[in-house]
Structure formats: structure tokens, C-alpha cells
Homo-oligomer: A and B are copies of this chain.
Amino acid sequence: MSELVTIQKERFSVEEVITRVKSASKGIGAVVVFLGAARDFSKGEVITGLSFEHYPEMAEKKLKDIRSRALDNFNIIEMAIVHRTGPIDIGEDIVLIVAASAHRNDAFMACEWAITELKRTAPIWKRETTQKGEVWVSENP
């Protein structure tokens, strides 16, 4: 199921990932998607660009682990996680989580849990380009 958890430099297609997740079962009645995008403003600073660095082997392990734990602990049918690395333009998508279940409450809970867990446990770092130069973001909201 490695194609359901990917870390990539390239842009991703939300529709394509949803299709991949939905192909798991015709019993899927609810799909909840979280999409993180590059904002132009953060903590009072104008942001002109972003770049992400990651610890490749560990980040992939941690994202796969989030998917496994989501499937174990929530009543969902399938989950996909995609995170981009490298430079990302303002407005572009950074991260995608797709959770699919029979009923909507399970997909909402699993999706929200997964993005929170990703921010907490995945070794990925954001570098923002502001008018003052490039800075590593050291806090995760």
C-alpha cells in the first residue's frame, strides 16, 4: 500500500488520490480531505516562498505509521497521506490527507487526528522566505 503514503517533490492531484482511496471499497460513503496550502502571511510576516526539508527514511516510516494507526484505531476503510518537500510556491498545496469511511463522523475524526499526528511526529521542517531572509519555522501550531 506504499502508493497511499508518499513524500514527493512534485505537485499532487487531489482528485487522483481520492480516486485511489475510493477504489478500496464500494462501501465508502464519506471521504474527508485535509489539504494544507502555502499561505502568504504567517505570524505578522509576509511570506514569499516556502521550502520543506525532511529526514527521508524516518518521515516515510512515520507517515506509514500514522496511516496504520488510523486504520487500527478509527472506523475507517482507507487513508492516504501525501507530503511535498523542496521549494513550494505561495498558494500551492503542501500536504494531503484523505480518510474514507462508511459514515462521515469516522472520516472526520481520523482525518483531523492524522494531520495533528503528522505535525507532531513527522520529521519535516519548513523554511519560510520573508523580507528578512530565510528562516526555519520552529513552532508548529
Report whether A18 and B14 are in contact in the complex, using a CB–CB cutoff of 8 Å. yes
User: How many copies of this chain does the complex contain?
Assistant: 2
Report whether B108 and A26 are in contact in the complex, using a CB–CB cutoff of 8 Å. no
Chain A positions 99 through 128: 1 when the CB is less than 8 Å from some CB of chain B, otherwise 0: 000111000100110010000000000000
Give the shortest distance, in Å, between A40 (CB) and chain B (any CB). Answer: 4
Q: How large is the interface on A (under 10, 10 to 19, 20 to 34, 35 or more residues)?
A: 20 to 34
Chain A binding surface, main DSSP class: mixed
Give the shortest distance, in Å, between A15 (CB) and chain B (any CB). Answer: 4
Report whether A37 and B28 are in contact in the complex, using a CB–CB cutoff of 8 Å. yes
Is A86 engaged at the interface, CB distance under 8 Å to the other chain?
no
Report whether B104 and A36 are in contact in the complex, using a CB–CB cutoff of 8 Å. yes
A107 to B120, CA, bound (A): 19
CB under 8 Å from chain B, chain A span 21-74: 22, 26-41
A125 to B35, CA, bound (A): 30
Report whether A37 and B29 are in contact in the complex, using a CB–CB cutoff of 8 Å. yes
Which chain B residue has the least Cβ–Cβ distance from A42? B29
A-B contact pairs, 23 of them (CB 8 A): A14-B15, A14-B33, A15-B15, A22-B37, A26-B90, A27-B41, A28-B37, A29-B38, A30-B36, A30-B37, A31-B33, A31-B35, A31-B36, A32-B34, A33-B33, A33-B34, A34-B108, A36-B104, A39-B102, A103-B141, A104-B112, A104-B115, A108-B112
